Amino acid sequence: MNILKTLCAIHAPSGEEFRIKEFLIDYVNSAKYWWAKKPKLVYGNRFQDNLLLVYGKPKIAFIAHTDTVGYTVRYNKELIPIGTPLSETGYKLQGEDEIGKIDCILHKNTDEYNLSYIYKRLIKTGTTLTFKPDFKNTDEFIQSPYLDNRLGVWMLLKLAEEMKHGVLAFTTHEEHGGGRRGYVVKYLYERYGIHQFIIVDTTYTTEGVFHDKGVVISLRDEYIPRKIFVDKIMNTALEGNVKFQLEVEQSGSSDGACVQKSPYPVDWCFVGPPISNIHSPNEIINKNDIFAALKIYRLLMKKLQSNY
């Protein structure tokens, strides 16, 4: 889990994903010689901070976003949320401005959107702050800020070790909107004809989704994937004896929203483990759910590629 611990500590809120991209490029270039197949790395100005690993003759893509929630420093010590972080007085934040590194405390005033910081000096306007790393690894659980979605990134790196045909897409701006995810869908569809997308992310524990009950297959959130494709995912889980649970929500979304909004005839499904305390410094995930997620990803990597 050392790579996951490192990923969770990288400062990369929405808009600053370049640090994750740089880490991933270095990691892939050093590790790919021991993988089943070396991928082609696709990135550059037209992709902004998105990164694609392309293997063989791909017919399926796995997508994981690299950004996190956080805060932007405004004036008079005010903080503006990036995405939807859970904000409570006392949370430890960190960042860096022109003067130096910053370790400060979040202060919640009268409501969620009246936030400020406590620090020994004024922080430069426009500086971004994220939760201070605090990675805990036990027999059953992992607890850390930013398991959403550095865990998804880590799981794609595990798939990278054995993938022979397919695409692993590391995308940006999921937490706050924007980026070039639509362009990624366009590129993959027009260049490779890919119309099957698996969203590798985390979701909430709820009154119907629990720890240690398996990977979550989402039937819908704010957006609704095509049932015929979701059925393929569920049948793959059943045939492979993968422990899973189903999710139905009215709100919330993922990179699947961007895929569905594209003008291309593509399918998508959210498949990932559940987290409690999501978007807080204390996100918690059960290891058995991680293993279930990896198992179904590996099965889908083969089945959807061959049953194109």
Per-domain residue ranges for the chain? Answer: 2-68+136-306, 70-131
- Residues 194-230: tens digit of each pLDDT: 999 999 999 999 999 999 999 999 999 888 999 999 9
Order the strands of the 40-44 sheet from edge to edge: 40-44, 48-55, 166-171, 61-65, 196-199, 267-272, 215-220, 244-248
What pLDDT score does 60 carry? 97
Centroid of chain to Cα 73: 24
Q: Tell me, what amino acid is at 250?
A: Q
* Residue-averaged pLDDT of the chain: 95
**HSE-CB for 76 with a 13 A CA cutoff:** 2
Whole-number Å distance between alpha carbons of 260 and 270 = 12
Q: What number of CA atoms fall less than 13 Å from residue 147's CA on the CB side?
A: 28
Q: What is the pLDDT of residue 121?
A: 96
DSSP β-ladder status, 215-220 and 244-248: parallel
According to DSSP, residue 145 is labeled T
pLDDT at 215: 98
Report percent pLDDT > 90 for the chain: 88
- Backbone phi, psi, residue 72, to 5°: -115, 130
User: Model pTM?
Assistant: 0.96
pLDDT tens-digit series, residues 32-84: 999 999 999 999 999 999 999 999 999 999 999 999 999 999 999 999 999 99
Residues 10-27: tens digit of each pLDDT: 999 999 999 999 999 999
d(CA 265, CA 275): 31
DSSP class of residue 27 equals H
User: Which carries the bigger pLDDT value, residue 42 or residue 254?
Assistant: 42
User: Residue 184 pLDDT more than 90?
Assistant: yes
204 in helix, strand or coil? strand
Please tell me the predicted confidence (pLDDT) of residue 256.
Answer: 85
Distance CA 226, CA 41 (A): 30
* pLDDT range class, residue 252, cuts 50, 70, 90: confident
What pLDDT does 308 receive? Answer: 60
Question: Is residue 292 within 8 Å of residue 154, measured between CB atoms?
Answer: no
Same fold, 2-68+136-306 and 70-131: no
* Residue-level pLDDT at 289: 98
Per-residue CA distances from 184 to 48, 101, 201 (Å): 10, 34, 17
CA–CA dist 4, 119 (Å, integer) = 29
CA-only gyration radius of the chain, Å? 19
Residue 92, pLDDT score: 98
CA-CA distance, 8 to 148, in Å (whole number)? 9
Half-sphere exposure at residue 81, Cβ-oriented, CA atoms within 13 angstroms: 18
pLDDT value of position 169: 98
Cα separations in angstroms, 130 against 17, 35, 160, 297: 13, 33, 28, 30
CATH (residue range 70-131): 2.40.30.40
**Domain at 2-68+136-306, CATH from 1.10.540.10, 3.90.780.10, 3.40.630.10, 3.40.920.10:** 3.40.630.10
- Percent of the chain scoring above 70 in pLDDT: 98
Q: Is the pLDDT of residue 297 over 60?
A: yes
Type of residue found at 85: P
Rounded Cα distance, 297 and 61, in Å: 11
pLDDT band, very low/low/confident/very high, at 258 (cuts 50, 70, 90): confident
Confidence of residue 307 (pLDDT cuts 50, 70, 90): low
pLDDT at 113: 63
Instruction: Compute, in degrees rounded to 10, the torsion defined by CA atoms 37, 258, 65, 239.
Output: -60
Rounded mean pLDDT, 240-252: 94
| Structure tokens that stand for 132 in this block | 């201070």
Is-contact 51 57, C-beta < 8 A? no
Report the length, in residues, of the chain.
Answer: 308
* Separation of alpha carbons 95 and 68, rounded Å: 14
Please give the pLDDT value at position 111: 62
The pLDDT tens digits of the residues spanning 97-150 come to 999 999 999 999 876 568 999 999 999 999 999 999 999 999 999 999 999 999
Average pLDDT over residues 267-296: 97
